Structure 1
């Protein structure tokens, strides 16, 4: 079957194309223009281009059955109702908001442009339903929590039955502030390869199995992607089949399963070697984000003349003393991990963001290494 391009930034266009895509009659390409020889298997609903925030972008092939299975499992866990779209429809989290709406027989409430507290309040009022749902990334939640001293914003947050938070790690400070305000957040874990979030607050959705091989988390279930468009070698490496014929997705994430609860501890490959010692940048970032004012910070590796590699913090600091905040962050990292893991630098300034609402880590890496962006 041939793909039909749809502008993922145009939520209404994606919404219009979705019924035919989920019927398997008209598979859509989101986030890229398919080549004339790009052919997908029967039953494909969409091919989603990943953000490429941590490497080379991939094109993930999602069947109608996988998208429906994911949406159905979400409804079984948190309920069905009226969804608000605050994420680009060209990304899997935004696409799933539309899929869930369609399967629930409801019209999604659209937020045009960036999510602001005023836009959120307006959308909540327009939705005017008892069972309200929305998907956000942590940066969006932080914006709303920061504005929650406005009674209208707090009321809109509390009006939702569930606010799904995914796309990246949620800092403990933001989580605790949301809990203190009685905001009904649900932290989700998943990816484009799993048709979106498939583990909610550490518990896999119905039909999902999470396994652990060495330190790597692996996921099985009916919402797994078919593979990667035009890259059979990568598909065979990332999607494996065990001796029982069960198909698994290798997440590349370090994690553990304790009493049935999944704990994610960052990427297996997000490690630097500093002075001969392996340092997990995910652990450093978690410690840094516990510092007030650095809740949305990004920590990356950089070349270091003395140690070989070191870590650097990027953060948008509002009204804070960057020198003092670096001292506090270094002390926090030394306390939680060790002196060897302390970041050497804090760059204060506006973070470049992807359309998905996540920090553009790849652009920041290029800035570190002074590499021009691809033409």
Structure 2
């Protein structure tokens, strides 16, 4: 396999060349973040001296939600199928701005889409996300003809909406902004619509070669169904063909042609609604509480930007519900927050511990790190 260490815009060009070669049958590519202290461990877990599984064009190294390193194997066919279906959904091939790290699947797919469109891509330089830096990076894309696209995480869009000015103007000029890696809240969707920013919330993962459901509707060729336990199952040409040197994980992940995600969902009139992780259920006093459901209730309150709900060990209850809340403007009081949850979800779902914070710890491109929330925001009491 060919390792590409991402350390700046020049290394993104190197990665793009390596991926182009891999799509044409060349050596498999393993992109890694050169600034991440965990990257060396991810590389070791990929065992680069071992032969690469046949049919692999790209390996996405990830620790996922469990913290266990995994290498997601993606074929040229899966990458192409995802990129081509995305262009059909958005309105045709266009120019792209890479605004998320290219070692993650969302960023890497921007490179693939650009290659298939035959268009150059622009790169948001690494470093803290700032509205003015986004506006500057977007300028060459927005100056070109044809559709203009980018992909980002909800946190980035929130910052653009907060900042206003040139960054928001640039966002409004894109024909579509794909939002992925984390859920798009109703409040964020409403803010984007009011500001005139055209967003496309997406659902997907490394195993589906990036987003495979756009605004609740599967991409062409992608099938979605819900298992008896509420698990989201996905089939189609965008799927991984397994995990690097882990036939056990590969076997567990597939039920025939269906990929077994770790998420719960429901289908309404053919549209997918993601309800949260299967493992986000909190068992408190013998009552099962969905962390995602409590998060949706709290986030819907005026003055709440985002929240993370976790279960904390408790000697009496087994687990208790805890909520870390990022507020904006006039935030609700703890009593108001608890009353709203109690009225909609019952007493068991009411957070026994509530902390207001300025930010939530993240892992990867915009995903809330639930383990870090539990350990850093809610240290043991007593």
Q: Normalised by the size of structure 1, how large is the TM-score?
A: 0.90
1:171–1:295 Cα contact (<8 Å) kept: no
Residue number in structure 2 paired with 1:15: 16
8 Å Cα contact 1:302-1:368 kept in structure 2: no
Task: Show the counterpart of 1:26.
Answer: 27
Q: What pairs with 1:1-375 in structure 2 (closer than 5 Å)?
A: 3-8=1-6, 10-31=11-32, 32-33=42-43, 34-78=46-90, 79-113=92-126, 114-127=128-141, 128-129=143-144, 130-148=146-164, 150=165, 152-214=166-228, 215-241=230-256, 247-317=257-327, 324-347=332-355, 348-367=357-376
Structure 2: runs of 5 or more not aligned: 33-41
2:342 and 2:67 mapped to 1: Cα distance? Answer: 29
**Equivalent residues of 1:190, 1:198 under 8 A apart:** yes
Please report how far the alpha carbon of residue 8 of structure 1 lies from its aligned counterpart in structure 2 after TM superposition. 4.4
Shift of 1:356: 1.4
Q: Deviations over 1:116-172 (max 9, x none)?
A: 111121122222124110111111111112223x3x333212211110011111111
- CA shift, 1:305, in A, is 3.4
**Aligned pairs, number:** 360
Cα deviation for residue 57 of structure 1 reads 3.3
CA gap of 1:350–1:94, structure 2 versus 1, over 3 A, is same
Give the match for residue 244 of structure 1. none
* Aligned equivalents of 2:31, 2:378: Cα separation in 1: 30
Q: Is the 8 A contact 1:164 1:185 kept in 2?
A: yes
Mapped partners of 2:52, 2:334: distance in 1: 49
Closer/same/farther in 2, CA of residues 226 and 349 from structure 1, 3 Å limit: same
Q: Which moved more, 1:174-183 or 1:45-54?
A: 45-54
Where do 5+ consecutive residues of structure 1 fail to align? 242-246
What is the SS of the residue equivalent to 1:112?
coil
SS in 1 for 2:354: strand
Distance in 2, matches of 1:291 and 1:370, equals: 26
Equivalents in 2 of 1:158, 1:353: separation in Å? Answer: 26
SS in 1 for 2:339: helix
Task: Quote the Cα distance in structure 1 between the aligned partners of 2:298 and 2:125.
Answer: 33
> Relative contact order, CA 8 A, sep 6+: which one is greater?
1
Q: Is the 8 A contact 2:304 2:328 kept in 1?
A: no
Instruction: Indicate if the aligned counterparts of 1:271 and 1:281 stay in contact, CA closer than 8 A.
Output: yes
**1:190-209 deviations in whole A, cap 9, x for unaligned?**
11110010111111111111
Contact (CA 8 Å) 2:182, 2:366: kept in 1 or not?
Answer: no
